[in-house]
Amino acid sequence: MQGFCIETPEDVLQIQKYCQYVYVDRTKSVLPDGKIKHKAPRRPRKTKEQIFQGRKLKVYADSATWAEEFPRAKAAVDTLAQTVDSIFEQATRGGVLDVVKVKQSVDPMIDSISRNPDACIWLARLKQQDTYTYQHSVGAAIWAVALGRQLGLARSDLRSLAVGGLLFDIGKLRINPDLLGTTRSLTDTEFVELRSHVALGIDMIKDSGLMNKDVFDMVAHHHERHDGSGYPGGLSGDTIPVFARIAAIVDCYDAITSHRSYSRAIPPAEAIKKLYEWRDLEFQAELVEEFIQAVGIYPAGTLVELSSGEVAVVVAEYRTRRLRPKVMVLLDANKEAVMEVKMIDLMSEKTTADGHPLEITSSLEPEAYGIDMAAIKL
């Protein structure tokens, strides 16, 4: 995903062995632009500073290892999930959102992701096994903060992303649950009712007294699309508030990588490919690319199959070592549970015992081969 320069005809032949197509970055290419064949000119690229005008950006560095951060992340996400359950249950009964409790609940998660996102992202993958509506909110909050960290946003902005991620679908609590859980095609009337969750969510935010404009934007505009095809306002491009553009990406990613009543989860690598194909159509290209940098092709918690035939789960360092992270082997080449779980650092272990290349060949759907991710002991 970092890209590389194609310099010889042999490079092209090598790429053809592994790739169906490539994307050419004209800004980094050394050939004159007129000699590069491409489909259509893309709009001028924007820097992060241009996207977030007036906001101070910083560079985050990991300050904790996976092993150090995991217990803190687990405590943070467990507390967040419990708080969300409580708050949402109260809202379902017609109560007012407890904004103070929401803000307090996200702080430990933000701290954890700021130190090292790996552990919280692992837990975001685990939460997909549970009730979708509630855990989608927790997952969206985690993805949003991870993207905000990648973008270099200040802590106050990370908090806005976390709160907005938790609440942008809050209006669904006032929608008929049978409609949300149906597996059949919806009628036009039912589509209108489903889309009304945006207006319902806006009303709930207003009633709560929450005054944060970025959070309000995420609730009001997370279904707008870059090309103007979204709802409720049909906004496009920069007319969509930037935090809402982030919400749209994390909402989509968490949804398509989760089991829903009407759709099975797809592997993270496939989800990343779809997001990339949708850039500058559904979502702003620069933000999609930053999201890919933030979560990697194989996020922590992703089940993968190795060239050895073994099945493993990605544990850490997927952001800086996208194709060769650390993995934990769960099944042997015969797809039988291993007697003793082993860790493999694919950066240093590049061959199998018989000398064949050792690498990730594919990412798998959650629960592939009957694996219960929640039962894995670290």
Model confidence over 11-33: pLDDT tens digits?
888 888 777 777 777 767 777 65
- Of the segments 174-188, 219-233, 347-361, which one has the largest average pLDDT value? 219-233
pLDDT band at 136 (very low <50, low <70, confident <90, very high): confident
pLDDT given for residue 331 in this prediction: 95
Q: For residue 126, name the pLDDT band (cuts at 50, 70, 90).
A: confident
pLDDT at position 34: 58
The pLDDT score that the predictor gives to residue 166 is 95
What pLDDT band is residue 54 in, cutting at 50, 70 and 90? confident
pLDDT at residue 377 greater than cutoff 90: no
Residue 36 has pLDDT above 70, yes or no: no
Percent of the chain predicted with pLDDT > 70? 92
Q: From residue 342, give the alpha-carbon distance in Å to each of 68, 103, 315, 345.
A: 19, 39, 12, 10
Q: Which residue has the higher pLDDT, 319 or 227?
A: 227
What confidence score (pLDDT) does residue 155 get?
97
Which residue shows structure tokens 């949804």? 255
With 50 as the cut, is the pLDDT of residue 129 above it?
A: no
pTM recorded for the entire structure: 0.84
Domains of the chain, residue spans:
66-295, 303-375
Q: Is the pLDDT of residue 128 over 60?
A: no
State the architecture of 66-295 in CATH terms.
Orthogonal Bundle (1.10)
pLDDT of residue 330: 94
